[in-house]
Amino acid sequence: MKTTILALVATLALSAPALAQDGPQRIVAIGGSLTEIVYALGQEDRLISRDTTSVFPPEALALPDVGYMRALSPEGVLSADPDLILVLEGAGPPEAMEVIRSASVPVVTVPESFDRDGVLAKVEAVGKALGEEEAAAELATRIDADLRVAEDAASGVDDPARVLFILSMEGGRVMASGTGTAADGMIRLAGGENAITDYAGYKQLTDEAIVTASPDVILLMDRGGNLDPATVDLSAQPALAATPAGEAGRVIRMDGAFLLGFGPRTAAAAKELAAALYADAD
């Protein structure tokens, strides 16, 4: 019996340092692109929870959901007993993040920008947090090559399509993207031109602003729920119907996480959007 106990103690003593060297093993990922990167690195077994925006790959949906990344509950996040919390920049609310950061759990906030460099920076940050720098460098190299192909294709577009990205149409009011958003970054990456450039972020547009924007294409994201503009008859909105996009019936709908995630699938999303924008090009 004594020999058995000593053997067990020796095994535990050896396994504890090894576990520490392997890095965090109970990770909560807050931000869909971060979850995708963890999977792309082959480290999904270390995930114990994810946020509502983490919907890809489908296997991630089996993980417990700690809530929407911009409306987090500290209790919900910390109750998972993580040893690392990966958080995409912009998560909140601020008071919730303050409580989460004050807990005795490492929190890594990953910066967000909607371009090739931003995607690569995410991969590098996640790889470093997981102790998987080499795998992250390899993944970043592949993503970089794919994104450069997309950028080269976009630079060859002579007559960019003017694209109006509509976030929602609740009550018939058009909430559209200006500059500095994921939608703006994706439109440019796909070789299009954002039809709205006189403000940053998202704002409701007046009918006059919609007509003045004169989009060639209306871009929507499929996300389900009552705010999904895909369920709205765009022709019933007179200002939209009066635009070139409305007159031609040019509406593109894409999965929201795929279109706006700026993660491992972004090059594929840009390629798909470009194909839809210029389907009739010679």
- Residues 237-270 have pLDDT tens digits of 899 999 999 999 999 999 999 999 999 999 999 9
Number of domains in the chain: 2
Both 167 and 211 in one domain: the answer is: yes
End position of a domain, from candidates 151, 179, 201: 151
Both 36 and 135 in one domain: the answer is: yes
Both 210 and 129 in one domain: the answer is: no
Both 37 and 129 in one domain: the answer is: yes
Contact 88, 65 (CB under 8 A): no
Both 132 and 87 in one domain: the answer is: yes
Identify the DSSP state of 180.
S
**Interaxial angle between packed helices 32-40 and 116-130, expressed in degrees from 0 to 180 and rounded to the nearest 10:** 60
Q: Show the domain range for 94.
A: 22-151
Identify the DSSP state of 206.
P
- Give 163: exposed, middle or buried? Use CB within 10 Å, 0-12, 13-18, 19+: buried
End position of a domain, from candidates 151, 183, 214: 151
Both 173 and 96 in one domain: the answer is: no
pLDDT at 280: 76
- Residues 95-140 have pLDDT tens digits of 999 999 999 999 999 999 999 999 999 999 999 999 999 999 999 9
Residue 266: inside a domain, yes or no?
A: yes
Residue 6: inside a domain, yes or no?
A: no
Residue 114 has, within 13 A of its CA and on its CB side, a CA count of: 17
Q: Is the pLDDT of residue 16 over 50?
A: no
pTM above 0.75, yes or no: yes
- Residues 40-83 have pLDDT tens digits of 999 999 999 999 999 999 999 999 999 999 999 999 999 999 99
d(CA 60, CA 105): 22
Residue 67: inside a domain, yes or no?
A: yes
Both 196 and 175 in one domain: the answer is: yes
Both 28 and 145 in one domain: the answer is: yes
Both 138 and 166 in one domain: the answer is: no
Q: Which two tokens stand for residue 30?
A: 């807050």
- Give 10: exposed, middle or buried? Use CB within 10 Å, 0-12, 13-18, 19+: exposed
Q: Give the chain's radius of gyration (CA, Å).
A: 22
Both 136 and 256 in one domain: the answer is: no
Both 147 and 163 in one domain: the answer is: no
Both 178 and 235 in one domain: the answer is: yes
- CATH of residue 233's domain is 3.40.50.1980
